[in-house]
Structure 1
Amino acid sequence: MRNAPSNPDLVARKVAGASVEGEAKASTGSQTLLRGLDVIEAMGDGPVTLPDLAVRLGLTRSTTHRLATALIERRYLTFTPRLGYQFGPKLLELGFLAQRQTDIVQVARPHLEELAATTEDTVHLGVLDGERALYLDKIAGRRRVDIRSRVGDRHPLTSTGLGKALLIDHAPENWAVLFAQDQAAGAPAMDYAVWEGRMRAYAQSGHSFDLEENEDLIRCVAAPIRGAGGAIVAAISVSSAAQYMSDDRMADLAQDVRDAAGAVSRELGWSG
């Protein structure tokens, strides 16, 4: 028996109906996903009770409870009686994985290159390594200036701009200890009261200078990079010959260096 010829209009309506139904399901799924993310983000300030969470999200208690329960089952949230919902172990696991997968040199490199191109000066990236500043990356400038630094070098913290940027959040008591150690190890001689006064100004401004303290005729401007928790994890510096680094130009460069450091910080998860 031969099949009856199909009705083209009927087929078209069925296809259109299936398409609309599929789009509706996809839209509902996306909405549920976004609401689930909203629930997680609402935990940022600590445990939240169900009534408060529902108010924050603008949802009914039943919908909020359903979303939170699903997240508990997947270990993204936990629930403590009388306290409410809070971050679960799954988020901690993912946080460690994300941190492990983030290579600060790779993240910072485009910003270093842009800063070097804009300033035409040498740009460094460094981290705290014990009681020294370890240089992880270097972008040479376009000027005929010999900056005698190499990736892998370790420099004094208290006489380099980059090192001082790494110390901005440290307590003055720690500054004094590190300063004394660097002086004993042969760092250029300097009066501590003058140095500490400058460090306090750097801590307030969010950037630091090297005023030919580490190497004659070389000056630099530096700023700290912060990780997701707000702690300083690295620093960026722009270095050049003193003839290109007048006081006015260093003041102008400070904003550019802070902007570059801030951009890297945001890619590392800092939201300050």
Structure 2
Amino acid sequence: MRRDTSNAESEPAEKKAGPKVQGSQTLIRGLDMLDKVIDGPIKLAELSARMSLTRSTTHRLANALIDRGFLTYLPRDGYQLGPKLIQLGFLAQSQADIVQIARPRMEELAASSEDTVHLGRMDGDLALYLDKIPGRRRVEISSRIGDRQPLTSTGLGKALLVDGSEAEWTRLFDADQAHGAPRANRELWFERMRGYADAGHAYDLEENEDQIRCVAAPVRDVSGKIVAAISVSSAAQYMDDERMESLSAEVRDTAQRISTDLGWSPEVRPPRRSRR
């Protein structure tokens, strides 16, 4: 009689795979533990309950993370995140190339909107254009990578300013007007900026270039600080008020996705804006 060897043949493979599975589980538990202490010091009993592990297993795993610097232990308070994570955070931030990180999201936005998408950041008191993806429509947008434009007349520039104080807005508005930016009504500009700050996006209503409109939104880093902005630009004939309003959510969502790629979390609130 032939003996069924299928189980026998599979046993060594399973045994061989066992340590890998166990090792992966330990890694996942370690990463889960870091998530459990992210809000501040936590004692062993509570950490054990959150992890659904015995105290001895939790203690052993926590000690391994302490040895590597990922956790620290405060005798009266419990476990908290360790210095290794600070080091890794700085390294990750320094290695992050915002143009490379943002480009896939920008390409998706350009494809869905069929319009030109820009990425820019502040450079002193100007908006510096870092990247540009042309749209499918036959619309000529004069911007170029490396261009510097006034913050107060471009949608991208205004998106970079939504967290700013009104004192800062005043300084920049007056400086731009004095240095040849397109003429603007002060009261109307400030009224719109307050609305943009509350909405989390900004518009260019043919203020910087005749017959060109855009919708822009800020990009944030891990701290919640605005480090860049993206915009969708097109001819005014494709950008009536209704379309700009409907496009705003898509632009904000793309900006938030890029922000998440940079380490930002929705729980990180932007700095509170002063009205003064």
Fold conserved between structures, TM > 0.5: yes
Instruction: Check if 1:186 corresponds to 2:163.
Output: no
Pairs aligned (count):
265
Per the alignment, residue 274 of structure 2 pairs with none
Other structure's SS at 2:242 match: helix
Per the alignment, residue 19 of structure 2 pairs with: 25
Q: Does 1:97 align with 2:91?
A: yes
- Give the whole-Å Cα distance in 2 for the aligned partners of 1:237 and 1:20: 53
Q: Distance in 2 between matches of 1:164 and 1:108?
A: 19
Q: 33-42 or 176-185, which moves further after superposition?
A: 176-185
1:174 corresponds to 2:168? yes
Q: Of the two, which has the highest radius of gyration? A: 1
CA distance, structure 1, for counterparts of residue 82 and residue 238 of structure 2: 53
Tell me how far apart the structure 2 counterparts of residues 144 and 24 of structure 1 sit (CA, whole Å). Answer: 59
- Of stretches 112-121 and 157-166 in structure 1, the one that deviates more from structure 2 is 112-121
Q: 2:256 aligns with which of 257, 262, 265?
A: 262
**How much identity, in percent, do the aligned residues show?**
60
- Per the alignment, residue 227 of structure 2 pairs with 233
Report the counterpart of residue 144 of structure 1 in structure 2. Answer: 138
Distance (Å, rounded) in 1 between the aligned partners of 2:6 and 2:140 = 73
2-structure distance, mates of 1:215, 1:115: 22
Shift of 1:202: 0.9
The SS at the match of 1:51 is helix
Task: Pick the aligned partner of 2:109 from 90, 115, 122.
Answer: 115
d(CA) in 2 for partners of 1:168 and 1:66? Answer: 47
Aligned to 1:3: none
Shift of 1:16: 4.5
Q: Which moved more, 1:202-211 or 1:138-147?
A: 138-147
- The one-letter amino acid paired with 2:109 is L
Task: Give the letter for the 1:120 counterpart.
Answer: E
Within 5 Å, give how 1:126-137 maps onto structure 2.
Answer: 126-137=120-131
2:156 corresponds to 1:165: no
* Structure 1 residue 126, shift from structure 2 partner: 0.3
Cross-structure match for 2:194: 200
Which position in structure 2 is the counterpart of 1:155?
A: 149
Indicate yes or no: 2:216 matched with 1:222.
Answer: yes
Deviation string 1:107-166 (CA, Å, 9 cap, x unpaired) is 111222222222222111001111111100011223332211110111111111001111
Instruction: Evaluate the alpha carbon distance shift between residue 186 and residue 28 of structure 1 in structure 2; reply closer, same or farther with a 3 A threshold.
Output: same
For residues 156-188 of structure 1, the C-alpha deviation after alignment (integer angstroms, 9 at most, x for no partner) is 111110011111112222222221221222212
- The residue aligned with 1:74 is 68
**Cα separation, partners in 2 of 1:120 and 1:14, compared to 1, 3 Å:** closer
Per-residue CA distance 1:223-263 (angstroms, 9 max, x = gap): 11122222212111111122221111111111221122122
Question: Is the deviation greater in 262-271 or in 128-137?
Answer: 262-271
| C-alpha deviation, 1:13, in angstroms | 7.6
The normalised TM-score by structure 2 is 0.89
Return the match for 2:53 from 56, 59, 79: 59
Partners of 2:194 and 2:130 lie apart in 1 by 26
Q: CA RMSD in A?
A: 2.1
